[in-house]
Amino acid sequence: MRLLDKKTLIVVLVALASFAAGLLTTGAAANNRAETLRNLERFSRVYQKIIESYVEEEDSKELVDAAIEAMIDKLDPFSAYMDQAMLEDLLVKTKGEFGGLGIIISVRDDYPTVISPIEGTPAARLGIRGGDKIVRIEGESTKGWNVQDAVDKLRGPEGSVVDIGIQRFGSEEILPYHITRAIIPVESVPYHFVLEGDIGYIRCVNFGERTAEELRTAIASLETQGIEGLILDLRNNPGGLLESARDVSDLFLDPGQIIVSTRGRDGRRLQEIHASDNERFAGDYPLVVMINENSASASEIVAGAVQDWDRGLVVGRNSYGKGSVQSIFSISETEALKLTTAKYYTPSGRCIHKDENDERPDYDTDGDGIVTEAELEAIETAQLETPAESPIESQLPLYATLRLQRPVRGGGGIMPDIVLAADEISDQALDLERRSAFFNFAVELLAEHSVDRDFQVDAALLARFRAWLAAKEIAVAPADFSANEGYIRMALRREVLYKQFGAAEAYQSTLGMDRVLQETLGLLKDQHDLNALFATSGERGDDNSQKQ
């Protein structure tokens, strides 16, 4: 008869041992120490019996790994036990470089496929192209591999060599490549442009060690071109290093202004992070920060600091609400514990973090997936007219910005000053993307002839694409094709420019169909003064200072 489940026993053992060690080394209260020691002793006896008497001999490492995994599962989603591979991946994301070939890959037709080579890297210098299928790595077929499988094999130390086999469109031949890995920079700021109305645009995709430096360079470049406003696009930016959020915020804030604070389990303020004493780097032009539901962590710190100090407006959708602090504790030379130890608070005192079990009002009252200004106005009105102890008030507490005393909303994440929701992509368009129709058509087109930067999708090319879909037995009803013609034109142009000229040209070609960006651009084009920008937001019903 099995007296105890092995996983349960080991979980308790490791949990109690770790907890006891923490308490005993941090000087916890005597009663807590005594309770911990009793539990640890009780558990040690159980564990000893398992080791000595369990009917089957078990691998101790596997048992401990399972125990740790189960224990971490009891915590929040951001705590993790990190093995060597996870630590190396974290290093890549935060240090901003890795040893590799210099290609962006995805899976197409069951093989890892090059989307684009990165300019100046080994892959680009050897002539690897977008659309090339990587059919072999180190002599092994890659059919059925996912992206991570391929990345694990392609990355390696700088100076090491990897052999790959490439199959190019229109040929059955497998081309052998013997490539020496090099350090590949991971850009945080891949794009910056001057848009119409002399408005600067910067896309920031993560927060690593060089993000502030890259932003500084982009801002300086845009300012030399005479910009009169700036859009910082943090949509879908998952965040990264706290130090990077500090340094990025520092570019826009005045000396000494608080950027973010942290509080631990007892609610006490553990740390305050302030802007440096140096003069603010960015000019006095109006600033708009764009966020959405996938903007998290460092993105929320920057957006919250800009909003709370009235340095600019925040537009888009309510951010993710990942405002917890993870500390890395070394366990061994190759393993570490990433543990949530505190939460972030904006300068006005709003907690950025939204726990999974927290509840919020449903802004989308009609269930159409888009939060309209009317829906947001209804929530605000209910909040302002309801007694302080009401559920709405407790879920959406009001705070005040620090310069203009504009009301801003708490409740987790960063609530924009102006709510703008992106247009939904139709199911038909998504199906074409999922089936790589735009990508594969562009590969075939460019195999015939190159294009210039003024390339447009005219009626003849659109008709050719429809015929190509039919030949590939990809069914699209005529009415659906017509309804999605605008998106189809954009997607085809994007893929062709991507393969011919690279990511920057392709990305810029899509901006005209980005409704949220276009509306944001409209806010700034005629408002070259920050206070005028705030007044404009008030006219839209998003500045509620007169309602208090």
Percentage of the residues of the chain whose pLDDT score is greater than 70: 83
Do 155 and 231 lie in one domain? The reply is no
Which token pair is 358?
Answer: 């927290």
Contacts 24+ apart (CB under 8 A), 143-147: 143/110, 143/111, 144/110, 145/107, 145/111, 145/112, 146/107, 147/105, 147/106, 147/107, 147/112
What is the pLDDT, as a whole number, of residue 363? 46
Please name which of 81, 87, 83 lies closest in space to residue 15, comparing C-alpha atoms: 81
> 62-66, 204-208, 529-533: which range is least confident on average?
62-66
Q: Between these two residues, 287 and 339, which has the higher pLDDT value?
A: 287
Q: Which among 185, 204, 219 is the end of a domain?
A: 185
Do 233 and 350 lie in one domain? The reply is yes
What is the pLDDT, as a whole number, of residue 378? 54
What is the pLDDT, as a whole number, of residue 357? 53
How would residue 29 be classed by pLDDT, with cut points 50, 70 and 90? low
In a domain, 411, yes or no: yes
Do 416 and 431 lie in one domain? The reply is no
Average pLDDT of the residues in 240-266: 93
CATH number at residue 198: 3.90.226.10
Helix axes 485-501, 459-471, angle to 10 degrees: 90
How far CA 519 is from CA of 316, 511, 515, in Å, comes to 10, 11, 6
Q: Are 238 and 321 in contact (CB under 8 A)?
A: no
Q: Which among 59, 74, 89 is the end of a domain?
A: 74
Do 159 and 252 lie in one domain? The reply is no
Q: Is the pLDDT of residue 193 over 70?
A: yes
Question: How much of the chain is in helix, strand and coil states, percent to nearest 5?
Answer: 40, 20, 40
Q: Between these two residues, 193 and 33, which has the higher pLDDT value?
A: 193
Do 223 and 243 lie in one domain? The reply is yes
* Rounded Cα–Cα distance for residues 26 and 6 (Å): 30
Which token pair is 156?
Answer: 């390696």
In a domain, 338, yes or no: yes
In a domain, 325, yes or no: yes
Q: Is the pLDDT of residue 195 over 70?
A: yes
Q: Is the pLDDT of residue 88 over 90?
A: no
For residue 149, what are the domain limits? Answer: 97-185
How would residue 249 be classed by pLDDT, with cut points 50, 70 and 90? very high
In a domain, 507, yes or no: yes
Looking up tokens 């398992």 gives 50
**SS3 call for 530:** helix
Do 176 and 241 lie in one domain? The reply is no
What is the pLDDT, as a whole number, of residue 546? 30
CATH number at residue 156: 2.30.42.10
Task: Cite the beta strand spans of 204-257 per DSSP E.
Answer: 229-233
What is the pLDDT, as a whole number, of residue 359? 46
Do 151 and 272 lie in one domain? The reply is no
What is the pLDDT, as a whole number, of residue 358? 52
* Rounded Cα–Cα distance for residues 338 and 79 (Å): 5
- Summary mean pLDDT of the chain: 83
Average pLDDT of the residues in 301-319: 96
Q: Is the pLDDT of residue 90 over 80?
A: no
Told to judge if 53 belongs to the known catalytic residues of this protein, a careful annotator would answer no
* Rounded Cα–Cα distance for residues 409 and 547 (Å): 14
Q: Which among 185, 201, 235 is the end of a domain?
A: 185
Q: Which of 247, 308, 417, 542 is catalytic?
A: 308
360: how many CB neighbours lie within 10 A of its CB? Answer: 16
| pTM score, whole prediction | 0.75
In a domain, 370, yes or no: no
Which token pair is 92?
Answer: 């890549």
Q: Are 311 and 287 in contact (CB under 8 A)?
A: yes
In a domain, 521, yes or no: no
How far CA 204 is from CA of 53, 97, 281, in Å, comes to 57, 16, 17
Do 288 and 202 lie in one domain? The reply is yes
In a domain, 369, yes or no: no
Q: For 372-428, how does the pLDDT look when each residue is reduced to its tens digit (9 = 90+)? A: 445 545 544 443 443 333 344 446 789 999 999 999 989 899 999 999 988 888 989
What is the pLDDT, as a whole number, of residue 276? 95
What is the pLDDT, as a whole number, of residue 200? 97
What is the pLDDT, as a whole number, of residue 540? 56
How would residue 238 be classed by pLDDT, with cut points 50, 70 and 90? confident
> 12-16, 293-297, 415-419: which range is least confident on average?
12-16
183: how many CB neighbours lie within 10 A of its CB? Answer: 14
Do 34 and 153 lie in one domain? The reply is no
Q: Is the pLDDT of residue 543 over 70?
A: no
Q: For 114-163, how does the pLDDT look when each residue is reduced to its tens digit (9 = 90+)? A: 877 876 688 877 888 878 899 999 999 999 998 878 988 998 888 999 99
Do 115 and 229 lie in one domain? The reply is no
Which token pair is 124?
Answer: 């680009």
In a domain, 523, yes or no: no
What is the pLDDT, as a whole number, of residue 548? 28
Q: Are 337 and 331 in contact (CB under 8 A)?
A: yes
Bridge partners of 418, per DSSP, are 315
Contacts 24+ apart (CB under 8 A), 453-461: 453/497, 453/501, 453/505, 455/493, 455/496, 455/497, 455/500, 456/493, 457/488, 457/489, 457/492, 457/493, 461/492
Told to judge if 537 belongs to the known catalytic residues of this protein, a careful annotator would answer no
* Rounded Cα–Cα distance for residues 114 and 127 (Å): 12
Q: Which of 188, 297, 299, 537 is catalytic?
A: 297
Do 309 and 215 lie in one domain? The reply is yes
Please name which of 525, 523, 526 lies closest in space to residue 538, comparing C-alpha atoms: 523
* Rounded Cα–Cα distance for residues 377 and 418 (Å): 11
Q: For 177-188, how does the pLDDT look when each residue is reduced to its tens digit (9 = 90+)? A: 999 999 887 789
Do 251 and 349 lie in one domain? The reply is yes
Q: Are 345 and 261 in contact (CB under 8 A)?
A: yes
Q: Between these two residues, 324 and 2, which has the higher pLDDT value?
A: 324
Told to judge if 322 belongs to the known catalytic residues of this protein, a careful annotator would answer yes
> 6-15, 127-136, 482-491, 507-516: which range is least confident on average?
6-15
Q: Which of 133, 322, 343, 499 is catalytic?
A: 322
- Look up residue 77 and give its DSSP letter: T
Q: Is the pLDDT of residue 260 over 90?
A: yes
Q: For 332-387, how does the pLDDT look when each residue is reduced to its tens digit (9 = 90+)? A: 888 889 888 899 999 999 999 987 655 444 444 444 434 444 554 554 444 344 33
Q: Between these two residues, 86 and 329, which has the higher pLDDT value?
A: 329
Q: Is the pLDDT of residue 481 over 50?
A: yes
Domain count, the chain: 4
